[in-house]
Chain A
Amino acid sequence: MFGAKKRREEEKKQDPVVGTYLSDSTTFEGSIKAREDIVIDGAVSGTIIVSGTVTVGKNGMVLAAIHADDVTVRGSVTGDITARETLELCETARIAGDIRSPSLVVHGGAALKGTCSVDRSVTDEVTSAVLKRPVARFGAAPTHMRPMKPADLMTARLKLLIIMMKAAMEDYPLGTFRKESMKENADYVLQCLVAGGSDGAFDAGYPADFIQKAHTVATAARDIADGRESDLPRHIRTTINDMCRELSFNETIPSMNFFKVA
């Protein structure tokens, strides 16, 4: 994903005007939604919703409604155009449709068949058109949402500790920052255990023997992060599995796909 992003950024540096370019050899049917400038010299039919500038080049033939921050037309558009900021019709523009924008620039020679509205109210309309799209959702269900309590963070830290130890047991690679985060997490858990829950951080109702196990595992995690221990003793592995059961935590480690990105 970010390889493509980097490539687009490089292209933008070379030609700061263009984010996405549809050449005159391109035909596209469907809905285009983009968060960057787009230049169309090809044929597009459908809907175009862009947070940025849409430029229809001299060779561009658009059979679509266009919603964008700014629109510049040099070619042919059949469909309504709504521009949030500025709509510019160049001398070669051919429009068949209604146009709306708070700011309109029309050059001599431009042709328009349709109504024209210079209207500031289009701003919000285009904004919501651009932004109405699904958002990836994570975490609690809406009916269960509430602030994070210290105990939530402590439980999450304990689970992260277990995942880190499970990964170490299965010889997943440890890089510099992984070791740092492992040490930092272990230190946080140990500090909370020493504090004894006086600030509510460890008020999760765990029995004393569980707290002892957490202490043992956190200490072992710190040793591994510091490079003092490479092989986990058998009793640590047993302790980790016990903690999983007591935390109602799946004993198998979750997807470790993230190791692929390091």
Chain B
Amino acid sequence: MENVRIAVIGLDKDETAFIATAFRYCVNREIATYESADAFIREHTTAEETDIVIVACPIGSGDDNSVVTSIRKHSPGVLCIITSDDPSHEERARLSGADGFLAKPYTVHDLFAIVDAFIVP
């Protein structure tokens, strides 16, 4: 895959920065970061289409209110990976149509595994 575009959404700056640093190193491309899904939708133009979004923010409930649904309305086809420390969020992530679930605490190897699973040809 060439020129993969990744965005990280999360309020915790240390965590978001770490994820962005690890992915920036993996794919050798700039990684966009946003504080919330609303910020992603507001600031992210369609010209900057994104392939993968790592979502480290509240995922919402139900289909219509879920952050995945909101993101996909803005960026159809984007791969959404939800990260959470709450085991019940795994099922909610699945029901909301997420493509991946990153359970906390995660390691740098888990981030590499995401790259292997979704990006490496």
Contact = CB atoms under 8 A, between A and B. Distances in A.
Instruction: Tell me, yes or no, whether A binds B.
Output: yes
Chain A interface bracket (under 10, 10 to 19, 20 to 34, 35 or more): 35 or more
Interface residues of B, number: 55
Given A164-B25, A184-B21, A138 B121 contact: no
A206 interface: no
Contact of B120 (A136, A137, A147, A261): A261
In this complex, which of A1, A35, A130, A261 has the most chain B Cβ atoms within 10 angstroms of its Cβ?
A261
In this complex, which of B15, B26, B114, B115 has the most chain A Cβ atoms within 10 angstroms of its Cβ?
B26
In this complex, which of B28, B90, B113 has the most chain A Cβ atoms within 10 angstroms of its Cβ?
B28
A163 to B, nearest CB: 7
Interface stretch (A20-28, A95-103, A174-182): A174-182
A2 B22 CA distance: 21
Given A185-B21, A261-B115, A156 B108 contact: yes
Nearest to A51: B97
A138 B103 contact: yes
A153 B15 contact: yes
B30 A5 contact: no
Given A164-B25, A181-B21, A261 B107 contact: no
A260 interface: yes
A2 B106 CA distance: 26
B42 interface: no
Contacts of A144: 105
A18 to B, nearest CB: 14
A145 interface: yes
A135 B121 contact: no
B95 A176 contact: no
Contacts of B77: 5, 9, 35-36
A5 B51 CA distance: 10
Interface stretch (A41-49, A211-219, A232-240, A250-258): A250-258
Given A145-B86, A148-B15, A177-B28, A138 B114 contact: yes
Contacts of A127: 63
Given A2-B2, A135-B93, A145 B103 contact: yes
B27 interface: yes
A150 interface: yes
Given A1-B121, A128-B95, A180-B24, A153 B14 contact: yes
A2 B118 CA distance: 10
Contacts of B104: 139-140, 145-148
A137 B22 contact: no
B96 interface: yes
A46 B105 CA distance: 41
A176 B101 CA distance: 30
Interface string B7-33: 000001011011001101111111000
Given A177-B29, A178-B28, A138 B100 contact: yes
B120 A139 contact: no
Contacts of B87: 142-143, 145
Contact of A140 (B22, B63, B105, B108): B105
Contacts of B12: 148
A159 interface: yes
A67 to B, nearest CB: 14
A133 B25 CA distance: 31
Given A127-B63, A140-B105, A145-B104, A260 B25 contact: no
Interface of A: 1-3, 5, 9, 35-36, 51, 124, 127-128, 130-150, 152-153, 156-157, 159-160, 163-164, 175-178, 180-182, 184-185, 188, 254-255, 257-258, 260-262
